[in-house]
Amino acid sequence: MTAKKSGQRKAKKAAKGARKRGRKTSSSAPQTSASSTKANFRAASNTELPDNARVEAIAKLTNAVIDDDATFRWMLDLLRDTNASLPVRLAALGAIQAASFSALAFSARRPAYLAALRSVVDDPELEMRQRALGLLSREGDRKAQDVLLRGLKDPSKALVPPEKALQLIGYDPKAEAYPIARQILRQPPNEDAKREALRLLAADAKSANVFEKILLDRAEPTDVRQIAASALQTLAPDTLQEHARRIVLDADENPEVQATSLTAITQFGKAENLISDDVLGKRVEKLQAEPSESVQQSAAQFMSKYR
């Protein structure tokens, strides 16, 4: 046999062996993945393991939530199981939520997922109620809105604190939420609820006068007045410009509110008016030497743009 033919046979034999090894490797890969999923499922469902071990295993089952009906149903059952520990139930919720980001692959499972969330809005655990209502609110779910509004109208039926309810309603506010928010603003149960009511009302055209009064009330906390200024920029921009100018010119005003007002003037005021406003220009020039850093920065921005 010539050396050439011998070399050709060896090359063919080596190629054949490589193909066999390739088939063996590719066929064993899914088995390894399946074995890993089964191992994680065993750990996740083992109630004798500590919570942290189960939580870790559940987090590794996100793909199985999409690919396997049984795993998905088991996750939903675990989410609803009030006998399971809260960390484990929240881990199940997290795995399903992570799977839901694959919108197309998860679409067939979404109705069951939303139904499970609705079933735990009155869960014994506050954190579970808040998470479920938050996720449903982001979906624009009507039941979640109704539950939150009912709790604001009648605190004895509230499933979450009022400030949380107002925050969640803000994801998809309905017209009936605004009168309730105004009522809470008149008699706020706490300062956080007052702030969340203001943030919600910032989308309500009928509340412009409410924000105007708050902006001008020096007894209000600084951040509350700043929220009012931001809302007025959307609801009544001309009114904000008028009051902002007066606030900047007032030497006795709160420096932080002055900085907010001057920023609003600089960014949203009418250039032709500001360029010709010598009184405002001289006042802003002096503000560059104020102790407040935020006032200095706002003044410098105004001067750079209009002087």
**Tens-place pLDDT, residues 136-146:** 999 999 999 99
Instruction: Give pTM, 2 decimals.
Output: 0.80
4: confidence class by pLDDT, cuts 50, 70, 90: very low
- Residue given tokens 């004895």 in the structure block: 156
Q: What confidence score (pLDDT) does residue 34 get?
A: 79
Ordered by start, the domain boundaries in the chain are: 44-119, 140-201, 206-307
Q: Give the single-character DSSP code of 159.
A: S
**For residues 255-284, average pLDDT:** 97
pLDDT higher than 70, residue 278: yes
Q: Which pair of structure tokens corresponds to residue 45?
A: 């469902």
pLDDT higher than 70, residue 118: yes
pLDDT digits (tens, 9 = 90+) for 221-233: 999 999 999 999 9
Q: What confidence score (pLDDT) does residue 122 get?
A: 97
Nearest Cα to 218, choosing from 249, 187, 255? 255
pLDDT higher than 70, residue 21: no
pLDDT higher than 60, residue 59: yes
163, 190 in Cβ contact below 8 A?
yes
Q: What confidence score (pLDDT) does residue 194 get?
A: 97
Q: Whole-angstrom Cα distance, residue 100 to residue 197?
A: 31
How large a percentage of the chain has pLDDT more than 70?
90
pLDDT digits (tens, 9 = 90+) for 76-104: 999 999 999 999 999 999 999 999 999 99
237, 205 in Cβ contact below 8 A?
no
Interaxial angle between packed helices 191-201 and 162-169, expressed in degrees from 0 to 180 and rounded to the nearest 10: 20
Q: Which pair of structure tokens corresponds to residue 75?
A: 């996750």
pLDDT digits (tens, 9 = 90+) for 138-188: 999 999 999 999 999 999 999 999 999 999 999 999 889 999 999 999 999
Nearest Cα to 148, choosing from 188, 96, 197? 197
149 contact partners, CB below 8 Å, separation of at least 6: 165, 169, 176, 177, 180
